[in-house]
Chains A and B, each alone.
Chain A
Amino acid sequence: MSEHSPRQDRPREAGPILSVRGLSARIAGQQVVHDVSFDVAATGVTALLGRNGVGKTSTLKAVMGLIERSGEVVLDGARVDAERTERIVCRGVGYVPEDREVFAGLTVAENLRLAERTGDHGTSPARKRLVADLFPDLTQRAQQRAGTLSGGQQQMVSLARALLNENRILLVDEPTKGLAPRIVSEVADALAAAARTVPILLVEQNLQVIDRLADRVVVIDAGRVVHAGPARELLDDQAMIQRFLGVHAESEPAPDQVHKAVTIAEGGE
């Protein structure tokens, strides 16, 4: 089916790794994503932005097939929108969900073992070493129940699960949400390292993290794409940031924001 698509006429390198066309999604009958279309480039980080509750998380879930969806999802030239979630994942889509969703009753080692894939594109020993190097803390805590970890450590488990496999793209949903500033930069480090090897579609609220990681941005409002372009263009335009995201971009976070982040992190742990 995709052989006749115009996308195929372009050289593979220049084409997007993920194309979303006219994607709509519902949760419990309620439409949460409205006819969304965007591309994710084959390298670097594409940030999916927007105010709270505009449908960013739902868009990722719809791409993953975790919620009822319609429209076209094309992964590296192949339509995947009719496939079940586990098939899409096995095609090379790593998913790091909002709120981390580690298995609290399982140990760190078990969480990671569950993510290992078998077969042709299975988890390689080299990949496991890479993850162990990236998250040394997790090796030390292998036998600890994931539910007893701090929010930052849980985020590392969630990221490590996605990085254990040779993926073609990672979908990462609000990885720094509710974390203390120091942990935010650790998570950003890990993502920056990951982005060197695999393209990432990132949902993120923290403008500093976006500034550091994102190459391109896609902005959603009320379930629709309202802007797409280079990250710099948006970040340098105060008016655009205010209009699309409802926040002021500052080089330093306001003291109360830091305080808030710390409180959330402490409260959540």
Chain B
Amino acid sequence: MSTLILLLVTGVGLGGLYFLVASGLSLIYGLMGVLNFAHGSFLTLGAFVGLAAAQAVGAGTWGGLLLGLLVGALTGAVAAALTELGLIRPLYNRHIEQVLVTVGLSLATVALFEGIWGPNPRNITTNAWLSDTTELLGARIPNTAFLNILAAALVLGGIVAFLKHTRYGLIIRAGVENRSMVTALGIDVRKAFTLVFAVGGAAAGLGGVLATQSLNYVSPHMGASLLIFAFIVTVIGGMGSLTGAAVASVVVAVLQQLANSYLNNSGDLIVVLLLAIVLLVRPSGLMGRTA
């Protein structure tokens, strides 16, 4: 029983990390039709720069962690906005070229990060509380799981509030449905493109710093490995659906944890099987629009 509780809570925590990456992917695809392969790079860059900021204040302190999270999010946002302005916008409406550019950027940035920070994972100092566990119904849950859940919930709430209550949120929701009609109402939808990239990049950067706390290391490759699952989550949830991404994040991560523990480490296999089943039975995803 306590193992099950442990797996469920850590699964939801891992789902939180997936969601932080998948939320941006889903919004960007929904609005712009671009599969952003460079999204993992925003995460990695956010993690490295965020950790550097945290270390400057004091590695392992709450202040350092908080600053690290903020700087990580900001770094992700800036990197994403610059990517949109510099590489995506000049290729307006040329989706295949846009996707190829993001693939190229993801490869180039990983090489760049290796050049700067070295190819191997570096161990980090985490906050004492975060290295500890908390007992919940007999299970000893790593505290990072709670932090991840809290952060993902706040980001989900924040993005939903932004989409519901702001003019740009309205433009983005409308644009996900019918982009050309938004321009036909006299709205420059390109500003919304930069904005969703920035929001998605911020969530990814935040996710990067959080991931280092759970993994206890930072590496140039962490973005790529999380990105794969975030893509799967985005497809299962329904491309362009934020709630779909949230639900699928939790489902995928929990299933992965359970399979890893009870089915001989077959978590990754089970997740890919789930993806295949969803694609066969419901190609638009759990909450995607039916074409």
Contact = CB atoms under 8 A, between A and B. Distances in A.
Interface of A: 64, 66, 84-86, 89-90, 95, 97, 101, 103-106, 110, 113-115, 117, 161, 165
Given A103-B174, A105-B173, A106-B173, A86 B181 contact: no
B137 interface: no
Contacts of B188: 84, 86
Contacts of B183: 66, 84-86, 89
Interface string B144-183: 0000000000000000000000000011011001101111
B177 A86 contact: no
5 contacts: A89-B185, A101-B184, A103-B173, A103-B177, A114-B187
Contacts of B184: 64, 66, 85-86, 89, 95, 97, 101
Contacts of A85: 180, 183-184
Contacts of B178: 101, 103
A97 B182 CA distance: 12
- Contact size class for B? 10 to 19
Task: Determine chain B's interface SS by DSSP, over half rule.
Answer: helix
Interface of B: 170-171, 173-174, 177-178, 180-189
Given A113-B170, A114-B170, A114-B174, A103 B181 contact: yes
Contacts of B189: 86
A165 B183 CA distance: 15
Given A113-B170, A114-B170, A114-B171, A106 B177 contact: yes
* Max chain B C-beta neighbours (<10 A), residue from A84, A106, A114, A117: A114
Nearest to A164: B185
Nearest to A90: B186
Nearest to A110: B170
Contacts of A105: 173, 177
Given A66-B180, A105-B177, A86 B186 contact: yes
A115 B171 CA distance: 10
A117 B188 CA distance: 12
A117 B181 contact: no
Contacts of B181: 97, 101, 103
Contacts of A89: 183-186
Contacts of A110: 170, 173-174
A262 to B, nearest CB: 27
Contacts of A117: 186
Contacts of A95: 184
A36 to B, nearest CB: 20
A165 B188 CA distance: 17
Contacts of A86: 183-189
Nearest to B92: A84
A114 B189 CA distance: 12
Nearest to A65: B183
* Max chain A C-beta neighbours (<10 A), residue from B178, B180, B181: B181
B264 to A, nearest CB: 43
A115 B185 contact: yes
Given A64-B184, A66-B184, A103-B173, 12 more contacts: A66-B183, A85-B183, A86-B186, A86-B188, A86-B189, A89-B184, A101-B178, A106-B173, A106-B177, A110-B174, A115-B186, A165-B186
Contacts of A165: 186
B186 A104 contact: no
Contacts of B187: 86, 114
Contacts of A115: 185-186
Contacts of B182: 114
